[in-house]
């Protein structure tokens, strides 16, 4: 499987994750991003022995878009620190059922994950073992049934966008886990990582890597200029 490379140097690798591929190896044993990219680096650069590649952040299996990886342990440490210090910007676009009550809003909730079910619960107020989850969304376009929404994450919680949008009555198209209506024409969750912004681990230069989904359903519901507006809205 060929994975699109957005940027690569000696320290950093930015790629486009296809929907349906795990970020790292899981119990299914299916091909995962980390293993596939290590094999690709080994082949392309004719590297002997094991190839180092650090997983800095994750995307849920059914989600596609920008991911970055560290090519050295030093880069992995510095990028992980950027994540911890919230100096790691992430924007997304999604297609939801219906339309939010507000065109734009900042959502603050508290999320608690059930590891066995791999599902999170959203709370309005601080709750035991729940972590604060903050995002800002903006409605870019709406049809009679769906809305195209740009999202900026302020925290990086598990299933955050999926759970918070469902909590306000707008589950992501295809997201059966969080209440979406089952549809035969949607096989993945309609969520796309449009950009990742981070200081380069060595040069410290501000670096932003961007991607938009292929013109396939449900993204094809919208005009290409609307897709571009959603991708650029928070960058």
pLDDT digits (tens, 9 = 90+) for 130-142: 999 999 999 999 9
User: How far is it, in rounded angstroms, from Cα 148 to Cα 164?
Assistant: 15
Domain topology for 5-232: Pseudouridine synthase (3.30.2350)
66-76 burial, b at 16+ Cβ within 10 Å, e below that, comes to bbbbbbbeebb
Residue ranges with strand state E in 52-161 = 54-55, 64-70, 89-97, 104-114, 119-123, 131-142, 146-153
Q: Which residue has the tokens 């510095």?
A: 78
What's the pLDDT score for residue 169? 97
What's the whole-model pTM score? 0.95
What's the pLDDT score for residue 27? 82
User: How far is it, in rounded angstroms, from Cα 40 to Cα 136?
Assistant: 36
What's the pLDDT score for residue 45? 86
What's the pLDDT score for residue 219? 96
What's the pLDDT score for residue 26? 86
What's the pLDDT score for residue 28? 85
What's the pLDDT score for residue 184? 82
- Give 199's Cβ-side CA count (13 Å radius): 14
Cross-strand partners of 89: 197
Cross-strand partners of 131: 111
What's the pLDDT score for residue 32? 95
Contact predicate 53/44, CB 8 Å: no
Contact predicate 88/57, CB 8 Å: yes
Segments making up each domain of the chain, as ranges = 5-232
What's the pLDDT score for residue 106? 98
Low-confidence ranges of the chain (pLDDT < 50): none
Q: Which residue has the tokens 């376009």?
A: 141
Cis peptide before 218 (omega within 30 of 0): yes
What's the pLDDT score for residue 185? 83
Sign, CA torsion 76/82/85/86? negative
């Amino acid at each position: 499987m060929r994975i699109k490379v957005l940027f690569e140097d000696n320290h950093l690798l930015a790629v486009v994750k296809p929907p349906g591929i795990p970020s790292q190896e899981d119990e299914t044993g299916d091909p995962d991003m980390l293993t596939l990219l290590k094999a690709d680096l080994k082949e392309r650069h004719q590297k002997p022995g094991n190839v180092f590649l650090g997983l800095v952040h994750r995307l849920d299996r059914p989600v596609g878009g920008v991911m970055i990886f560290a090519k050295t342990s030093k880069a992995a440490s510095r990028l992980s620190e950027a994540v911890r210090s919230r100096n790691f910007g992430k924007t997304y676009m999604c297609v939801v059922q219906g339309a939010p009550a507000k065109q734009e809003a900042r959502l603050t909730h508290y999320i608690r994950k059930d590891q066995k079910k791999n599902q999170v619960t959203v709370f309005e107020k601080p709750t035991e073992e729940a972590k604060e989850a903050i995002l800002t969304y903006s409605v870019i376009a709406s049809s009679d049934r769906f809305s195209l929404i740009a999202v900026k994450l302020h925290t990086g919680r598990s299933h955050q966008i999926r759970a918070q949008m469902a909590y306000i009555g707008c589950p992501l198209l295809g997201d059966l886990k969080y209440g979406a209506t089952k549809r035969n024409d949607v096989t993945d969750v309609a969520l796309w990582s449009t950009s990742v912004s981070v200081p380069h681990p060595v040069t410290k230069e501000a670096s932003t890597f961007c991607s938009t989904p292929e013109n396939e359903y449900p993204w094809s519901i919208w005009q290409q200029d609307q897709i571009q507006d959603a991708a650029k809205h928070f960058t």
